[in-house]
Structure 1
Amino acid sequence: MRDEINPAPQAADSEVRQFVTFVAGNQVFAVDMAPVQEIIRVPEVVRVPLAPPTLDGLANLRGKVLPIISLRRIFGYPERPADDASRAVVIDLGQPLGFVVDRVASVVGVDVRQIEDAAGVSTTVRSELLRGLLKDVGGHAMIMVLDFERLIAAEFAQAARAVRSAAVAGLNAGAAAGADDGAAADELQLVSFEVAGQEYAVAIENVQEIVQMPDEIVEVPHAEGHVLGVMTLRQRLLPLVSLRRMFALPERAADEQSRIVVVAIGGAGVGAAVGVVMDSVNEVLRVPLSGAEPVPPLLAREPGMADIARICRLDGGKRLVSIIDAASMFRQDAIREVLENQHMQTHMEEDTGNGRAGSDDEEQLVVFRLGQEEFGVPIDSVQEIVRVPEQLTQVPRAPAFVEGVINLRGAVLPVVDLRRRLGLLHAERSDRQRIMVFVIDGVRTGFIVDSVAEVLKVERRAIEPAPCLSAEQSRLLARMANLEKQKRMIQLLDPRHLIAEGDLAQLAGIEV
């Protein structure tokens, strides 16, 4: 489902540059290949309140939050739903951003003499958003090269600032790393193995050891399909995964040639390794870096190629070895879950002790809905949750954002429609709606939500900063819980910023 494009290295004296060309509206555009990370099908998104209107929402890309932006909306073209041809071009501008286009046309090599300055040329796009023009390329008289940095600077001021900060940090980090580069950077050391007649490899620094298949594998209930179970390896539990299952290849029983390659997927400690079942292990390879090529875009679309980082051509091109990106394929959180489930089954008393320690590693949230999107607040910020009465009492001279007041056990409670506060469309009253009561700087205030879903414990490692899309959004919705396994993204709201300082005094003074 993913069409990856990895930039090909270019010689410093090359006169040819590579571009990805695509269509948005009736126009053909191009972007330099260098910042293009990959090209994916348009994913499902979580809508973000208070974000610029050109943002479709946030998607989950291999555990990372990816903003998805509509190029049609940026350029004012008519809306059009995504179809089978639509793609999101993921461009790394310090932070990855996905730009939705109608279709991707091709990857073209362009002689630098065919690139012209866009200044003074009349186009449907403002010239300051263009890096240049490609003349007579790919059957088109003119292709506009977009400047995506200026695009986000115009549409996403907060994101643009984050990009600039990341770029500065990247330059500093790159300078430091460059000082330590040695001859080893010119070659790859790989452990190669075979699965279903195809040769694969993993970087040798990620391989801890190679062991035989165990006599017994303990199955783990509710594990992902590619997880075979766990085995004991020198007094520790090692999760086992099947590469055949991951790549949707036919099942095959293990035999005497089968081996388990123990691959490191994170830092030290339990859960930092996974055992990958292979048909056989071949050899250790030393390959010049120049001999490892990015996966061709057409191959990247095929099932089983999603987590292949590069391909090595050996023996004059007769032997192809696919290099697996262990970091992206074997997600550490999924493996930890396998270990935790097994630990719960076999060590109940120890698990109780871990529960006490784990409480510091979890955050308890009240999850509620506005439309199809899920939001959450820390449970200790919610004073109570009550039904919405049939009618709210209107108060003269109350602030415009107040829907009305209710009598809550003898006290006047101002009530605000959270949809209105977040700039969302109005919804008719329903039996599922509730009022969540917060205390903001000593002032009790109720907020109407569409429904309250659950009280949920979330591991703190699953909570990350939300992309900065606007000043107000970055204050009010600064974090999100990215529950990759459940395919959920819960936007975390900070109740302290729901009411502006100047408005709190008016709320405190409301009387019936």
Structure 2
Amino acid sequence: MENAGGQMVTFYLGKELFGIELEYVREIIRLPEMVRVPGTPHYFSGLANLRGNILPVIDGRKRFNIPDVVETDATRVVVLEYRGETIGYIVDRMSEVINLENATEDTLCAARGREELISRVIKSDDGSTMVMVINIEVLFPRLEGAGSAHYSGAAVLEKQNEAAGQEELKQFVGFRLAEEEYAVAIETVQEIVRVPDRISRSPGFPHYMDGLFSLRRRTVPMLNLRRFFDLPDRPYDDRARVLVLNLGVNEKKMVVGLGVDSITEVLRFTAEEIEPLPELLRGDDTKNLTGVCKLGEGKRLIYLLDPHSILSEGEINLDGSGDEETEAGPERRVVSEEQFVIFHLQEEEYAVNIQSVKEIIRPPEIVRVPRAPAYVEGVINIRGTILPVINLRLKLSLPARENDDRSRIVVVDMNGVPTGLVVDAVREVRKIAADQIAPVPAVLGAHLDTGYLQGVVRSADSQRSILLLKLQSVLTGAEQMEVAQVAAEFTGGVEENEQEDAGADR
């Protein structure tokens, strides 16, 4: 036996006492809120936002195959740092910091079957205390050549800003007011946020103005579209949202929020699909509407709203909204921002750059395709184009579930193939600055293939983190070929059937 020396932080997992050298312990915190990452080992609890830094968290009980228990007030996370990487380690309760000057190092008992996790066993000089020392190198497995984990947020945005091809379709953000659906051009939408808890009201505002609210150091006027259009008024509920628009009026940039009942989807129309308002509907009451589009064989009508015409009427007091560059200051101008679509899968939030999103639709009839991979739900027909549909839950090894009223299909360009991704719900469109995007922790890459993750978004106003998807890597090369073939074979089968039907008619 040898003298151990040094100091050690000790803690309990079940009834057993473990320790980690004090030099590796950065701090000890309470159990934070975490984002779970699909495909990680069972002992990986998720990612936490620790004061703006992404912290991978490991469950100590599960790592040692100790039966689970419910967390208590004594549960703690030991934040460890080793060779520039940081992780959190969940323990049942802390014990003490012990001095090892009078302790002795014993050989590891092979019968425990934990030789790879335990580097040594420390005993007190009287033999009353035994501490199993965790092998820090095994706790921090490193993946050689994991270079993708060491990029900046600006580099993430740069990679996503690939040259877009010419597209005749125009994009709109759809929303609901009372029983009708409306849409505004997506280029006018800065972001979509929940209705703020605090809105400052003034007696001098028009009746259709809710007031002013603060959005990242900017004062934004908020217009209630129900009252503006003389629709029945009602309080905002959990589905209500604020469309934050960035508009140019009279050679000046204006930012204004539009309070709406709910956001429906991202829509795409060709110029031919946009019809002018019928002449009987044209007048002062409809001068803010520029056209109407028909969906679902004319069963759904979408009215196109021109927000510029609302602001140009001269009735709305936009004092305080100001020019974006003046309000934000020179420091903010140097930080690039991009818009992202935020959606839910199980209990977590994911994001994709809006430039990759063609449209967001309610799930139509999905045609099953024989012999297709399990994660391929089938194909859908969007304006004559056959698109394969991928169930992201199944692809990311999450529990399957039936689609409901909140389910959406996010149509994206996946390596040149228009593809539908089934998600639980679309939450919002949000602007995210480059400095809010953190790289995928390298220690996480050692546990699984994180190629499908572009980074982790650190929310400035929340402890929650958002997983940023790298669309081109969600499928492997072989899987991409399989998905493309599914759509091609189905399209070919449809054409053959049409030709046979035409021959029979002749």
After TM superposition, the score normalised by the length of structure 1 is: 0.57
Q: How many residues align?
A: 320
CA contact (8 A) 2:48 2:464 kept: no
CA contact (8 A) 1:108 1:138 kept: no
CA contact (8 A) 1:368 1:450 kept: yes
Aligned with 2:137: secondary structure?
A: helix
The one-letter code sitting in structure 1 at the alignment partner of 2:121 is L
1:262-411 to 2 correspondences below 5 Å: 345=320, 348=323, 350-351=325-326, 358=333, 361-389=336-364, 391-411=365-385
In the alignment, does 2:410 pair up with 1:436? Answer: yes
Deviation at 1:162, TM superposition (A): 6.9
CA contact (8 A) 1:133 1:145 kept: yes
Aligned with 1:475: secondary structure?
A: coil
Q: Which position in structure 1 is the counterpart of 2:292? A: none
Q: Which position in structure 1 is the counterpart of 2:392? A: 418
Deviation at 1:380, TM superposition (A): 0.4
In the alignment, does 2:89 pair up with 1:99? Answer: yes
The one-letter code sitting in structure 1 at the alignment partner of 2:87 is L
> Matches of 2:62 and 2:42 in 1, distance apart?
8
Q: Which position in structure 2 is the counterpart of 1:449? A: 423
CA contact (8 A) 2:361 2:410 kept: yes
In the alignment, does 2:9 pair up with 1:24? Answer: no
Q: Which position in structure 2 is the counterpart of 1:466? A: 440
In the alignment, does 2:487 pair up with 1:504? Answer: no
The one-letter code sitting in structure 1 at the alignment partner of 2:349 is E
Q: Which position in structure 2 is the counterpart of 1:141? A: 129
In the alignment, does 2:478 pair up with 1:492? Answer: no
In the alignment, does 2:79 pair up with 1:90? Answer: yes
In the alignment, does 2:67 pair up with 1:78? Answer: yes
Q: Which position in structure 1 is the counterpart of 2:100? A: 110
* Higher RCO (CA-CA < 8 Å; seq separation 6+): 2
Aligned with 1:49: secondary structure?
A: coil
In the alignment, does 2:107 pair up with 1:132? Answer: no
The one-letter code sitting in structure 2 at the alignment partner of 1:105 is S
RMSD of aligned C-alpha atoms?
Answer: 3.3
Q: Which position in structure 1 is the counterpart of 2:53? A: 64
> Matches of 1:21 and 1:352 in 2, distance apart?
51
Q: Which position in structure 2 is the counterpart of 1:332? A: none
Deviation at 1:488, TM superposition (A): 2.9
Deviation at 1:151, TM superposition (A): 2.9
Q: Which position in structure 2 is the counterpart of 1:479? A: 455
> CA 1:162 to 1:39, structure 2 compared with 1: closer, same or farther past 3 Å?
farther
Q: Which position in structure 2 is the counterpart of 1:152? A: 140
Deviation at 1:457, TM superposition (A): 0.3
The one-letter code sitting in structure 2 at the alignment partner of 1:104 is M
Deviations along 1:203-223, one digit per CA (max 9) or x if unpaired, are xxxxxxxxxxxxxxxxx9859
Deviation at 1:409, TM superposition (A): 1.1
Deviations along 1:315-368, one digit per CA (max 9) or x if unpaired, are xxxxxxxxxxxxxxxxxxxxxxxxxxxxx9496475279699849610210111
Aligned with 2:112: secondary structure?
A: coil
CA contact (8 A) 1:118 1:127 kept: no
Deviation at 1:18, TM superposition (A): 1.0
Aligned with 1:80: secondary structure?
A: coil
Aligned with 2:419: secondary structure?
A: strand
Structure 1 range deviating more: 135-144 or 413-422 = 135-144
Deviation at 1:383, TM superposition (A): 1.0
> CA 1:483 to 1:350, structure 2 compared with 1: closer, same or farther past 3 Å?
closer
Aligned with 2:326: secondary structure?
A: helix
> CA 1:149 to 1:350, structure 2 compared with 1: closer, same or farther past 3 Å?
closer
> Matches of 1:75 and 1:127 in 2, distance apart?
11
Deviations along 1:132-177, one digit per CA (max 9) or x if unpaired, are 2221379843211111221333xxx54x8879x99xxxxxxxxxxx
1:202-281 to 2 correspondences below 5 Å: none
Unaligned runs of 5+ in 2: 151-211, 218-318, 491-506
Deviation at 1:504, TM superposition (A): 2.4
The one-letter code sitting in structure 1 at the alignment partner of 2:94 is V
Deviation at 1:464, TM superposition (A): 1.3
> CA 1:419 to 1:350, structure 2 compared with 1: closer, same or farther past 3 Å?
closer
CA contact (8 A) 2:33 2:463 kept: no
Deviation at 1:56, TM superposition (A): 0.4
The one-letter code sitting in structure 2 at the alignment partner of 1:132 is R
- Percent of pairs with identical residues: 38
Deviations along 1:439-490, one digit per CA (max 9) or x if unpaired, are 2222111110000111100111111102132476421113011013233311
> Matches of 1:144 and 1:52 in 2, distance apart?
23
> Matches of 1:496 and 1:99 in 2, distance apart?
32
CA contact (8 A) 1:87 1:100 kept: yes
> Matches of 2:477 and 2:90 in 1, distance apart?
38
Structure 1 range deviating more: 419-428 or 126-135 = 126-135
> CA 1:77 to 1:137, structure 2 compared with 1: closer, same or farther past 3 Å?
farther
CA contact (8 A) 1:29 1:145 kept: yes
> Matches of 2:22 and 2:63 in 1, distance apart?
21
CA contact (8 A) 1:16 1:109 kept: yes
> Matches of 1:397 and 1:345 in 2, distance apart?
59
Aligned with 1:474: secondary structure?
A: coil
